[in-house]
Amino acid sequence: MNNRKVRVRFAPSPTGPLHMGGVRTALFNYLFAKKNNGQFILRIEDTDQTRYVDGAEDYIIESLKWCGIEIDEGVDEGGPYGPYRQSDRKEIYKEFAERLIESGNAYYAFDTPEELEAMRERLKEEKSSVQQYNALTRAAMRNSLTLSEEETENLVNKRSFVIRFKMQEDEDIHVEDIIRGSVKVNTNQLDDKVLFKSDGMPTYHLANIIDDHLMKISHVIRGEEWLPSLPLHVMLYRAFGWEDTMPEFAHLPLLLKPSGKGKLSKRDGDALGFPVFPLEWTDPKTGDVSRGYREDGYFPEAFNNMIALLGWNPGTEEEILSMRELISMFDIQKVHKAGAKFDHEKAKWFNHKYLTAKSDEKLARAYQTILKEKGINVEDSFVIKVVKLIKERANFVSDFWNQSSFLFQAPKEYDHKVVKKRWKEDTPAILSEFKKQLDGLEMFDHDSIEKTIQNFLEGKEFGMGQLMNPFRLVLVGAGIGPGVLEIATLLGKEETLRRLETGINNIKRE
């Protein structure tokens, strides 16, 4: 690593909601910046007006905030190298594009879409290996290299031009990528990319290079899909004479589908039942709603932790890592080259780990909101006990209800399968006798219930299961849940006896 002050940027285009791969790019930039006492910059790359989507910029910012990624310089924070939204920097790009024309590194091109199509057809017929505007073909096209100065001026004034980069012929470009190692390309494989459009806007390539230079970016950490643009970017740095201060590059591996085959898309999430966006997103045009991790009940720390370990790991056994730990352990050199498979079960496991690490009091408060919505009013102290009992079985706070509704409401029906299997002819008699024993208890706590059961079973011809299975059935209405003794203790004597009575009277053998 060079000795420059570390300044990294996350540079999303507001073309829709931020994919979780994008969040990971932001997170890796952030971890790298904080690890190296550097700055994390948010730059909004909105020069492609045709792809602009309302609300996307706010969505991106809210997503970063939710994840705990703090922005040092950005559209809302400001900073010494602003503005940080490219559409607010329009004037800057034009001047630099003109500089490239003056230095002979770029030229005006006036070809219509039809003319460009005709060129492609011609090249195809000639079976040329080149299918694009480049050193070999530009001489046959309408541009400032082939037209007279007067014609050129005339067409430029009419504003129907683009500015193209004049890619050098047959030059080997060699760049070191922190993750991929050495990247080599010959310029003959590259085309004369459009840098500036007639609408007065730069394209991504031009604006990106100029801004990274002006904003003194030291490291460009971005998705692998930008690797093919790297040689052009290097050539642009050279053309501007900025090669000395060119940032270092690190291209992150793709996030792959759970099967490992191909890039993780929203369609995979829809088909397999998981979100691919951090927050819920409503498409402003269609009104379609896409799920978000936040709304699905993930804790931001769990989500962060999960995505941080997609494509990188600190090489330790421990996987539950706070933001602070991630920062101190992060090593960009150790990011993997291979794509990282997304695993939904693992994502839930992370949430489970964070959930169980939270205090019962905190979880009870969150659960109370759900209970209130259901019209259930119970004391916090009771909910705290419930949470303590069931949290090991939950991944989300929203799982609590399924795991514990029977602690708030007596069963209205009984699971047929369990009745069929567990409710024998002698069950009502066994439960009635057992009920009498419980009724005699003064203290109704775990130990006294346990002792009562032991005494009750002593000398009897039936075993533990013949009592405990139907006992669970009358209390829960099903064969699931935490320990029966714990359930009975929480329900209390009166309610336990009532449920025994109801069960004995209502459950019929099947």
Minimum Å gap between C-beta 229 and ligand GLU is 8
Looking at beta carbons only, is 14 or 477 nearer to ligand GLU?
14
348 is catalytic: no
Comparing C-alpha atoms, which of 161, 154, 160, 158 is closest to residue 107? Answer: 161
In the complex, least distance from residue 302 CB atom to ligand GLU, rounded to whole angstroms = 25
Nearer to ligand GLU, 41 or 467 (CB): 41
489 lies in the binding site for ligand GLU (CB under 6 A): no
Whether the CB-CB separation of 306 and 347 falls below 8 Å is answered with yes
Q: Taking contact as CB under 6 A, which single stretch among the options 7-15, 101-109, 352-360, 490-498 is the one that binds ligand GLU?
A: 7-15
**Residue 208 contacts ligand GLU per CB under 6 A:** yes
Q: Give yes or no for residue 13 binding ligand GLU (CB under 6 A).
A: yes
Other CB atoms within 10 Å distance of the CB of residue 463: 9
Beta bridge partners of 85: 44
249 forms beta bridges with 177, 220
**C-beta separation of 248 from 7 below 8 A:** no
Contact 449, 441 (CB under 8 A): yes
Q: Interacting stretch for ligand GLU, rule CB under 6 A, among 11-19, 100-108, 120-128, 420-428?
A: 11-19
Stretch in the footprint of ligand GLU (CB under 6 A) among 9-17, 114-122, 425-433, 468-476: 9-17
Residue 48 contacts ligand GLU per CB under 6 A: no
Task: Tell me which residue of 333, 318, 299, 353 sits closest to 28, measured CA to CA.
Answer: 333
Is residue 21 within 8 Å of 255, Cβ to Cβ?
yes
Cross-strand pairs, 341: 256
Task: Spell out, one character per residue from 18 to 47, where the chain touches ligand GLU: x when CB under 6 A holds, - when not.
Answer: ---------------------------x--
Q: At its nearest, how many Å lie between ligand GLU and the CB of residue 174?
A: 20
Nearest to 166 by CA among 205, 142, 195, 141: 195
Q: Least distance to ligand GLU from the beta carbon of 207, Å?
A: 9
* Closer CB to ligand GLU, 204 or 354, in the complex: 204
> Please, which residue, 223 or 258, has the CB nearer to ligand GLU?
223
Residue with Cβ nearer ligand GLU (12 or 470): 12
CB atoms under 10 Å from CB of 297, counted, come to 17
Q: By CB under 6 A, is residue 11 in contact with ligand GLU?
A: yes
**Residue 226 within binding range of ligand GLU, rule CB under 6 A:** yes
Structure tokens at 117: 């199509």
Cα distance between residue 41 and residue 58, in whole Å: 16
Of positions 12, 21, 74, 269, contacts ligand GLU by CB under 6 A: 12
CA dihedral (21, 211, 91, 229) positive or negative: negative
Q: How many CA atoms lie within 13 A of 452 on its CB side?
A: 24
Question: 340 near 256, Cβ under 8 Å?
Answer: yes
Q: Which of 222, 257, 352, 391 binds ligand GLU (CB under 6 A)?
A: 222
Closest of 356, 366, 396, 367 to residue 274, by C-alpha = 396
Pairing of strands 172-177, 181-186: antiparallel
Closest separation between CB of residue 282 and ligand GLU, Å?
21
Which one, 339 or 411, has the nearer CB to ligand GLU? Answer: 339
- The one-letter amino acid code at 357 reads A
Which of 35, 216, 266, 424 is the catalytic position? 266
Of 14 and 275, CB closest to ligand GLU: 14
Residues serving a catalytic function are 266
Q: List residues near ligand GLU by CB under 6 A.
A: 11-13, 45, 204, 208, 222, 226
